[in-house]
Amino acid sequence: MAAMAALRALRWRLLRTPGSGPARRLSTAEFPSPEEKPQFPGASADFADRLEFIQPNVISGIPVYRVMDRQGHIVSPAEDPQLPKELVLKLYKTMTLLNTMDRILYESQRQGRISFYMTNYGEEGTHVGSAAALDDTDLVFGQYREAGVLMYRGYPLDLFMAQCYGNTSDPGKGRQMPVHYGCRERHFVTISSPLATQIPQAVGAAYAIKRADANRAVICYFGEGAASEGDAHAGFNFAATLECPIIFFCRNNGYAISTPTSEQYRGDGIAARGPGYGLMSIRVDGNDVFAVYNATKEARRRAVAENQPFLIEAMTYRIGHHSTSDDSSAYRSVDEVNYWDKQDHPISRLRHYMLSRGWWDEEEEKGWRKSSRKMVMEAFEQAERKPKPNPQLLFSDVYREMPPHLRRQRAALERHLQHYGEHYPLEHFEK
């Protein structure tokens, strides 16, 4: 009652004209009653006089944007990005070169030559379609299955191999697990193993770019499994409230290791979460390289021009095992995998498009497959011959000046190797 009395007194003061005597009357349209419109600061909504809970599936699912069908035919000519032949060939050759590298390094791990590997089978279109739509200076935060982005930017095969082998040519000096690539010159932040940590980090980088008015964007890749991490919530919310020029790129490949999407969430995928955070969102066919290109291109343009975040959910399928530590036959059928490998693969879809335009033929296909395998094998053999980095490098590059506790650890290692060095394969390490 006291609150209502105070409100009436406030209205009386507002309605009075100084020195004019009685207050003038205002219509309801001029001064709407607070009872007719919610005044809560946390939401923008109207009152409802009927008890009703919002159903999770009250509307049909967010549609999947596509440009090409499974046979490589353009569905709507207005959506055709009209990419020149040279660029389309680069997209195709990057995808197929990545596929070839995957096969050789996967077999290398199975033979005990490297410790670990993760293939990109089936998701190549999400890599190159998005990479082609970015500026070269845009900052990339990857999860661990985005090698195609780095390859599209010109990262050489010998450095891919050096990183997986952890040899003396590895920029990371053998300290990281295989497939944890990074390249400062190509604006690709080094991958780290903990899931989803890159999401809030990417938002921080985007906020710094915004404050510097640098005319750049950040793209942050992650899987639909990582979207269940708390870091995803924090990143989405910070990006929206701070209005950061960032593209959240979710590769929804159907599985978080062995957990299918049906057991990961009950809502309409990841794109449906975007509006709740205030993110501009879209769902695209991740096996359609042109759809991925169009969506990323427009998101990048608007993110930079308007300083706002975007969420792209690329629907695709992980054809390979999660990693060499996984056996996916334990949780999915061979028929399921074969469907995506044979009927809806991003590489075959783009090849159909190129064949229909007369930009590619079977002879060129055979020649490229042979030459690309030769390039990969040469880099592979070169990496295998190189020694491992000097063990002393375990202690460097953490501090500008090595602190006492690290100096003590280094001295302890030296003493240990002097006494027991014959038990270690030191001949394989750089002196």
Active site residues: 107, 193, 322-323
In a 13 Å sphere around the CA of 260, the CA atoms on its Cβ side amount to: 7
> Does residue 252 contact residue 286 with C-beta atoms inside 8 Å?
yes
List the one residue out of 122, 121, 126, 127 whose CA is nearest residue 103: 121
Tokens read off for 318:
């992980």
Q: Is 244 exposed, middle or buried (0-12, 13-18, 19+ CB in 10 A)?
A: buried
How many other β-carbons are positioned within 10 Å of the β-carbon of residue 296? Answer: 26
List the one residue out of 144, 240, 156 whose CA is nearest residue 196: 144
> Does residue 252 contact residue 316 with C-beta atoms inside 8 Å?
yes
Q: Which pairs count as long-range contacts for 207-214, CB under 8 Å and 24+ apart, including other chains?
A: 207/238, 207/242, 207/244, 209/139, 209/244, 209/245, 210/242, 210/243, 210/244, 210/245, 210/307
